[in-house]
Structure 1
Amino acid sequence: MAITHPYFTSIDILPANEYFKESGSSGQDSLYRLCKAYSIYDQEIGYCQGLTFMTAALLLHMPEEQAFCLLVKIMNKYGVRNLFRSDLRSYNIKFYQLERIMKDFIPDLHQHFVASGIEAHMYASQWFLTLFSAKFPLHVVFYILDLFLLQGMETIFQVAIALLLLSRKELLLLDFEG
Structure 2
Amino acid sequence: MAPIVATLLMHMPDEQAFWCLVVICQKYLICYYSPGLEGIKSDSKLFGRLLKLYFPQISKHLIKNGADDSLLYMLCEWFTCIYCRSLPWNIVLRILDMFFCEGVKVLFKVGLLY
Taking structure 2 as the reference length, the TM-score comes to 0.92
Partner of 2:54: 105
Partner of 2:24: 74
Amino acid in the other structure paired with 1:130:
C
Superposed CA deviations along residues 68-101 of structure 1, whole A, max 9, x for unmatched, are: 11111111111x1411111222221011000000
Instruction: Work out the number of aligned pairs and report it.
Output: 112
SS in 2 for 1:83: coil
Partner of 1:9: none
Which fold has the larger relative contact order, with Cα–Cα distance below 8 Å and residues 6 or more apart in sequence? 2
Superposed CA deviations along residues 99-156 of structure 1, whole A, max 9, x for unmatched, are: 0000000000000000111121132220111010112221111111111101111010
Amino acid in the other structure paired with 1:73:
V
**How many angstroms apart in 2 are the aligned matches of 1:115 and 1:84?**
30
Q: Within 5 Å, which residues of 2 pair with 1:15-94?
A: 51-78=1-28, 80-94=29-43
Q: Within 5 Å, which residues of 2 pair with 1:121-160?
A: 121-160=72-111
**How many angstroms apart in 1 are the aligned matches of 2:66 and 2:13?**
44
Stretch of structure 1 that moved more, 85-94 or 109-118: 85-94
Identical columns (%): 29
Q: What runs of 5+ residues in structure 1 fail to find an aligned partner?
A: 1-50, 164-178
**How many angstroms apart in 2 are the aligned matches of 1:65 and 1:137?**
26
Amino acid in the other structure paired with 1:72:
V
Q: Are 2:52 and 2:59, in contact at CA under 8 Å, matched by a contact in 1?
A: yes
**How many angstroms apart in 1 are the aligned matches of 2:35 and 2:73?**
18
- What's the C-alpha RMSD, in Å, of the aligned pairs? 1.1
**Structure that is richer in helix per residue:** 2
Amino acid in the other structure paired with 2:113:
A
- Which has the higher Rg, Structure 1 or Structure 2? 1
**How many angstroms apart in 2 are the aligned matches of 1:81 and 1:130?**
13
Displacement of 1:58 after TM fit? 0.7
**How many angstroms apart in 1 are the aligned matches of 2:47 and 2:19?**
29
**How many angstroms apart in 1 are the aligned matches of 2:19 and 2:34?**
20
